[in-house]
Structure 1
Amino acid sequence: MFVYKWPAGKENNTGIVSEHSMCDVKGGGISSYAADPPAAGQSLTACLNQALKDVPKERHALTPLYLGATAGMRLLNLTDPQASNNVLGAVATTLKEYPFDFRGAKILSGEDEGVFGWVTTNYLLENFIKYGWIGQWVHPKKKTLGAMDLGGASTQITFETQEEIESPHSAMTLQLYGQTYKVYTHSFLCYGRDQVLKRLLSKVLKDARYALKVENPCWPRDYKRNFTIETIYDSPCTTAEKPTNYFPTAIVNMRGSGDSALCRQRMDSLFRFTGCTYKSCSFDGIFQPSVSGNFIAFSAFFYTVDFIQSVMKRRIAMPGDLEEAVVELCNSSWSELLQKAPGEEKRLPDYCATAVFIQLLLMKGYRFDERTFPDIAFQKKAGDTSIGWALGYMLNLTNMIPAEETSFWKGTKYSSWVGLILLFVAIILVALGTMFCVLRSSKGRGTV
């Protein structure tokens, strides 16, 4: 949950928005409550109670409240539309119990998610419009940055391009602050971190002919875990590989082997790099123009690379750096990783798989290379505000990004600025004149 604020003294509902506070919702995403929809609403109450404190009481009724759902709910809506509606209804019921101006809960499309992340990134970095020192909004004439998001169920890439976008579904033309932007965007469902990990386990089981005792090359050596087979095949992303003789309660005994080369092979098999009907593709037959310009990679991109740099002490500046770090990470034993990061036991087993996936996605999928990889910045925030789709979504829904250019003013007008500057100059001149007189008088007394 994010709480945003912006100054009231502006025209045309335009201002620089900043993040006032945030709250991490405990538990899974709302899609994980398909069997118990009321629990989805209850999961939000702790953060909503925090919002009651963060937002001034006199502003409660005037503060718009939105809920945007992403790929987890898109998957649920594909497999069970009724369950999806029940979850959204339960969430809406909870949100309406609070004194805010609730304006709806909605499932975003993948393209919306990608574009809103791109808008957030460039808005925060003031690439669309900037507040000038003379008190006027100006266009900075800077190039926009591409945005790459890695969530739980999908991953998105969005960037401005001058190339022809052969796939109309991936083309968007945006009018922001009087400027036109031609943007390429695509969202890959089932390629988010959590779903990739499920698909990987499914691939490991399939390659082992669904044996219930199996080794996973992407888990650290000596790490082991037991789980029911239904936890792998409870997603539409893995249904196609469900074994013929399927017993949901069968227990899988899986142990890590820490083999970076074999892990890469298993992960590579999740992509399809053939069958492109366009001039150029990323993977799975999806059109993509050449990547160009600078990019920001956030969400799980950031957390994974940050782990490599802060815990593994590996600097990631070039593709070779990432390759070497992945090999070291994947060949590490469970005890070695625990010693380096004792507080991350929950996510620790999956860092290897996630790092291998990111390497393949960036280098082989999106086709970054030695020249373009250094243009990627792995970041969590821009300034004090989290990078993600939420801010772009809110800006769009509150009409805080106008379609056409207008005259933007904030605070002091231009004539007042000129008056203030002349006043400051006069004060400085008076101060210098006074200092000169004092020094001259002191010098005169010293020679008597």
Structure 2
Amino acid sequence: MARRVVALPLLLCFIGVLGILLLCLPVRDLREPPAFKYGVVLDAGSSHTALFIYKWPADKENDTGIVSQHDMCDVEGGGISSYADNPPAAGNSLKQCLNHAVSSIPKERHPLTPLYLGATAGMRLLNLTNPQASDKVLSAVTATLKSFPFDFRGAKILSGEDEGVFGWVTANYLLENFIKYGWIGQWFRPKKPTLGAMDLGGASTQITFETQEPIESPQNEVTLRLYGQPYKVYTHSFLCYGRDQVLRRMLSRVMKAGGYKSSMLNPCWPKGYQRNVLLGDVYDSPCTADEKPESYDSQRAIAMTGSGDAAGCRLIVDSLFKFNICSFSRCSFDGVFQPKLSGNFIAFSAFFYTVDFIHTVMKRRVASPDDLSAAAEDICNATWDELLQKAPQQKTRLADYCAVANFVYLLTTKGYRFDENSFSNIAFQKKAGDTSIGWALGYMLNLTNMIPADEAGFLKGTNYGSWIALVLLFVTVILMALVSGFCLLRSSKEHGTM
């Protein structure tokens, strides 16, 4: 009986010591989840504008892996550059999505929510040809954005290099290649390389990837320091090589080859498809302005009929590139330096939509250059009725997939030089998790300083060493309790025997 009396206080003593140690541990972040902060970015592309709303826990601004896409809204109508003749309409076009943001973000957070607009290649082209109109469009857009209850931080035209680098930051941030939150309650750098990023917009296309090779053209080199880690990145933006501008340039080549006759065949359109094309719709762009015919009339229409000639279409699209000029040790095309490809890549925007069409509509896989080439040929050989039967909901874009698929094939293989081995390193994706891949998130992260240059905020919760000590103590107490219980049980049996 005496052993039982001694063991019980001993067990209670250990439990008491354990409780005191638990109270003394430096525990953080154990309170109720904080409210969210929000950020709004308008991606003003050449063909349309999209509004993205991001959110993150209010007390974790300098951590990572925590920003997520809360909501988005597609602005109706064309890109803001299409309102060059009516700048106020550019601002008005944004109001519906801005009102959506007002209702989507809690009212008390409105004044604290940063609001940005970044314009890309469409506005870059407008700024080249008509800077006064470009300024008026940005002024009208700014006036609209300032009228909403957010913290407006500016509207600007991004350079092609900015667009490429911010897309690269977004992709690698979302895939946790810079830093990751581990199960032990600490941030750490995963031991894996970054991904290259390829973006295909309406007026330009970008390629960005980390490299250890010398970059022979200084304008293509960007040095970043993220979470204390340096990154040397190659990036280039090809203006006039976006999807919509490529289609204009293709039509210009078809018209020139046909002698600008009143009717002609288009090898990149499917058999059975016919449409009247205004010269103004083709040549009202800096990307085609130099190819105008001598007797140019913007209102003149040409009756164009598809001939579904896969080989003829590829020749026309191939003629858009210049592969025979290079003043560096190696080039992609048009005399632009590009180091040797390295690592895996993620391809988004129109890259994704084109390959997704091949997968879902044409029922073909794209695992190699030969697969992509064969799929492009398959699309070109299909008649208009066959394509319409396969994807009636895409009627407005169906006629263009032959040219675009050939362009994606030539760009990735002859342009960027992906071969049988490296092509399999490309992942064609629209999102990472629930967040769209593009430059918008990287742009916001940069402007809100949410990716610090130095290490910050790597610890979360209690200190890791404290947890180890606590676990060891807990195991010791359990073992002592079991020993005490065993002694008590043995003592009871001995007393019962006596």
Common fold: TM-score over 0.5:
yes
User: How far apart, in 1, do the equivalents of 2:150 and 2:479 lie?
Assistant: 53
Q: Does the 8 Å contact 2:61/2:450 carry over to 1? A: no
Structure 2: give runs of 5+ residues left out of the alignment.
1-50, 484-498
Give the conservation status (yes or no) of the 8 Å contact 1:3–1:20: yes
Query: Secondary structure at the residue paired with 2:230?
Result: strand
Cα-to-partner distance string for 1:304-357 (whole Å, 9 max, x where unaligned): 000000110001111111111111101110000000001110111101111000
Aligned counterpart, 1:268: 318
Residue range with higher mean Cα deviation, 202-211 or 399-408? 399-408
Please state if 1:368 is matched with 2:418.
Answer: yes
Q: Partner of 2:47 in structure 1?
A: none
Q: Where do 1:428-439 residues align within 5 Å?
A: none
Aligned to 1:317: 367
Contact 2:63 2:457 in 1 (8 A): no
Classify the secondary structure of the residue corresponding to 2:459. coil
Distance 1:167 1:40 in 2: 37
Partner of 1:131: 181
Q: Tell which deviates more after alignment, 18-27 or 3-12.
A: 3-12
Shifted more, 392-401 versus 129-138: the winner is 129-138
The answer as to whether partners of 2:271 and 2:384 remain within 8 angstroms in 1 is: yes
* Counterpart residue type for residue 215 of structure 1: L
Quote how far apart the aligned CAs of 1:243 are.
0.5
Decide whether aligned partners of structure 1 residues 138 and 353 sit closer, same or farther in structure 2, where only a CA change above 3 A counts.
same
Tell me the residue number matched to 1:91. 141
User: Tell me, what secondary structure is at the counterpart of 1:6?
Assistant: strand
- Partner of 2:494 in structure 1? none
- 1:83-142 Cα deviation digits (max 9, x unpaired): 000000101111111100001101000000000000000000000001121221111121
How far does residue 392 in structure 1 lie from its aligned partner after superposition? 0.4
Could you tell me which amino acid in structure 2 is paired with residue 231 of structure 1?
D
Out of 308, 324, 344, the position equivalent to 2:358 is 308
What letter corresponds to residue 289 of structure 1 in structure 2? P
Deviation of 1:377 after TM superposition, in Å, equals 0.3
Q: Counterpart in 2 of 1:47?
A: 97
Shift of residue 173 of structure 1? Answer: 0.9
Could you say which residue in structure 1 is the equivalent of 2:253?
Answer: 203
Q: 1:106 to 1:426 in 2, by over 3 A?
A: farther
Contact 1:301–1:358, Cα closer than 8 Å, also in 2: yes
The whole-number CA distance in structure 2 between the counterparts of 1:29 and 1:308 is 27
The amino acid of 1:147's aligned partner reads A
Contact 1:116 1:393 in 2 (8 A): yes
**1:379 corresponds to:** 429
Residues 308-347 of structure 1 correspond to what in structure 2 (within 5 A)?
308-347=358-397
C-alpha displacement of 1:15: 5.7
| Cα deviation code 1:129-160 (max 9, x no counterpart) | 01121221111121000000000000000001
Q: 1:411, CA displacement in angstroms?
A: 4.7
**Alignment partner, residue 233 of structure 1:** 283
Q: Does 2:237 match 1:164?
A: no
**1:8-407 mapped onto 2 (5 Å cutoff):** 8-10=58-60, 12=62, 16-407=66-457
Query: Partners in 2 of 1:423 and 1:349 — Cα distance?
Result: 71
Distance 1:429 1:336 in 2: 75
Q: 1:423 to 1:223 in 2, by over 3 A?
A: farther
The answer to whether the Cα contact below 8 Å between 1:117 and 1:389 also exists between their aligned partners in 2 is: yes
TM-score normalised per structure 2: 0.84
**Cα deviations across residues 396-434 of structure 1 (Å, max 9, x unaligned)?**
00001111223423455546755886799799999x99x
Larger Rg: 2
**Alpha-carbon distance change, 420 to 275 in structure 1, aligned in 2, over 3 angstroms:** same
SS of structure 1 residue aligned to 2:74: coil
Give secondary structure in 2 for the equivalent of 1:194. Answer: helix
How far residue 363 of structure 1 moved from its aligned partner, in angstroms, is 0.3
Unaligned runs of 5+ in 1: 434-448
> What secondary structure is seen at the aligned counterpart in 1 of 2:283?
coil
Question: Does the residue aligned with 2:70 lie in a helix, a strand or coil?
Answer: strand
How far residue 211 of structure 1 moved from its aligned partner, in angstroms, is 1.5
After superposing the two structures, state which structure 1 stretch, 135-144 or 337-346, moved more: 135-144
1:9: how far off?
2.6
Counterpart residue type for residue 364 of structure 1: K
| AA aligned opposite 2:291 | E
Aligned-pair CA distance for 1:53: 1.4
Deviations 1:13-67 (A, max 9, x none): 6562111111111111110110111111111111111101111111000000000
Equivalent residue pairs, number? 434
State the percentage of identical aligned residues: 71
CA contact (8 A) 2:65 2:176 kept: no
Q: TM-score, normalised by structure 1?
A: 0.93
Q: Residue 305 of structure 2 aligns to a residue in which SS? A: strand
